Amino acid sequence: MPRPALFVTRKLPPDVEARLARDYEASLNSGDVLPSRDGILSGAAGKDGLLVTVTDRIDADLIRALPPSVKIIATFSVGYDHIDIAAAKARGIAVTNTPDVLTDATAEIALLLMLGAARQATSAIATLRSGQWKNWAPTGMLGMELTGKRLGILGLGRIGRATAHRARAFGMEVHYHNRRRLDPAQEAGATYHADIERLFRVSDVLSLHCASTPETRRIVNRATIALLPQNAIVVNTARGDIVDDEALIEALASGRLAAAGLDVFANEPNLDPRYLDLPNAFLLPHLGSATRETRNAMGFRALDNLDAFFAGRTPPDLVTV
Ligand code: DGY
């Protein structure tokens, strides 16, 4: 039986590519050149499936233009806002993602962002690296302690819960909002707020862990930022478009918010350049899942889904609309 043919849009970790080469007729991207829209379409010609990442915009037009041979799109990511799921369903194309395996890595980055933002790491590092650190000063470079602060989590899913778990070790009090209240075991003592306004009012640190959907896009905006306590911190490891950049930049520049820790941005990698001039913005280039362990696990998880699909089984991480 011929091996299924796959178009793989990005270079993947060596062990993942080795398994791909062993089990599939895989067209790999050894130079890791970002494929254009036309590049994805021509790469998909004659393929049974696509293995894509968050950098590929798989919108409805592209899905409609895919050759009929393509039956599955496996994304090497937990998020799938870059894929039009309804359009894929309409074409009978299965979509899978890679949940679970990046939970811990992303929660670690959320804590890094909280600490970096709270302790003003951006300006402190700049002072040191530019040779302007003259001496230790009792009143110099003061940040905010996380201990005893209220952490508001918007979206207490897998990553939100892993972040809450770590934050408790820092002595933070956890609050959250989800559409539905979780059971007590999953809450682990966190206080539920049925509406986001109440959550924002008690969040000394607000950490975003919800998916990007029409309901959550720009949910952090001028009106909701105004609800946060004075000198609050906003942390985002979810998706950039959950935040209205204009409003966040204004609040950081005016000092209404003490700081922000951001790993994701609208229109990546072309983030709003004004962030770069803000000493109270602690910024990372979408590193949430960027550990060797996690990137391997993401690749293997994507392959487990493809293997199941081509063996005629339901893939474990089938995304449904
Ligand atoms: C995902 O998997 O959705 C992440 O954003 C990639 O780190």
Structure tokens at 126: 């700049």
Degrees to nearest 5, angle at CA 214 with 265 and 191: 80
Residues 306 and 175 in one domain: no
Query: Cβ(294) to ligand 1 under 6 A?
Result: no
Q: What is the CATH number of the domain that holds 303?
A: 3.40.50.720
Residue 284 reports pLDDT greater than 90: yes
Q: What is the pLDDT of residue 321?
A: 75
Which residue among 106, 209, 292 has the greatest number of ligand 1 atoms within 8 angstroms of its CB, and so is best to mutate? 106
Instruction: Please check whether residues 221 and 303 belong to one and the same domain.
Output: no
Q: Point out the ligand 1 atom lying closest to the alpha carbon of residue 288.
A: 7
Say yes or no: 34 and 183 in one domain.
no
Kindly report, residue by residue over 206-227, the tens digit of the pLDDT: 999 999 999 999 999 999 999 9
Asked if 139 and 266 sit in the same domain, the reply is yes
Q: Residue 183: left if φ>0, alpha if ψ -120 to 50, beta else—which one?
A: beta
Atom 4 in ligand 1: which residue has the minimum CA distance?
Answer: 77
Identify the pLDDT of residue 191.
98
pLDDT at position 210 is: 98
Whether 221 and 312 map to the same domain: the answer is no
Which of 10, 54, 83 best tests ligand 1's pocket when mutated (most atoms within 8 Å of CB)?
54
In this structure, the answer to whether residues 278 and 311 fall within a common structural domain is no
Nearest ligand 1 atom, CA 102: 2
78 lines ligand 1 (CB under 6 A): yes
* pTM for this predicted structure: 0.97
The verdict on whether 175 is a catalytic residue reads no
C-alpha 200 – ligand 1 centre gap (Å): 25
Which ligand 1 atom is the nearest neighbour of the CA of 80? Answer: 3
User: Ligand 1 centre and the CA of 250: distance in Å?
Assistant: 27
Instruction: Check residue 182 and give its pLDDT.
Output: 98
Question: Within this chain, do residues 13 and 146 fall inside the same structural domain, yes or no?
Answer: no
36, pLDDT greater than 90: yes
Residues 297 and 310 reside in one and the same domain: yes
Are residues 199 and 108 part of one domain?
yes
User: Which residue in the list 158, 193, 286, 301 is annotated as catalytic?
Assistant: 286
Number of structural domains found in the chain: 2
Catalytic residue of the set 17, 25, 250, 268: 268
Tell me if 105 CB under 6 Å of ligand 1. Answer: no
CB 100 within 8 A of CB 305: no
Span from the CA of 77 to the centroid of ligand 1 (angstroms): 5
SS (H, E, C) 81-141: CCECHHHHHHCCCEEECCCCCCHHHHHHHHHHHHHHHHCCHHHHHHHHHCCCCCCCCCCCC
- Quickly state the pLDDT bin for 248 (edges 50, 70, 90): very high
The strand pairing partners of 27, in sequence order, are 7
Instruction: Report residue 47 as tokens.
Output: 């393929």
pLDDT of residue 320: 85
- Active site includes 187? no
> Is 193 annotated as catalytic?
no
Q: Are residues 180 and 303 in the same domain?
A: no
| 308 lies in the same domain as 279 | no
* For the CA of 98, the nearest atom of ligand 1: 2
d(CA 144, CA 320): 42
Q: How far apart are CA 312 and CA 321, in angstroms?
A: 21
Task: Say if ligand 1 is within 6 A of residue 240 CB.
Answer: no
Same domain assignment for residues 88 and 131: no
Per-residue pLDDT tens for 299-319?
999 999 999 999 999 999 999
Closest residue (by CA) to atom 1 of ligand 1?
A: 77
The whole domain housing 19 covers 5-101+292-320
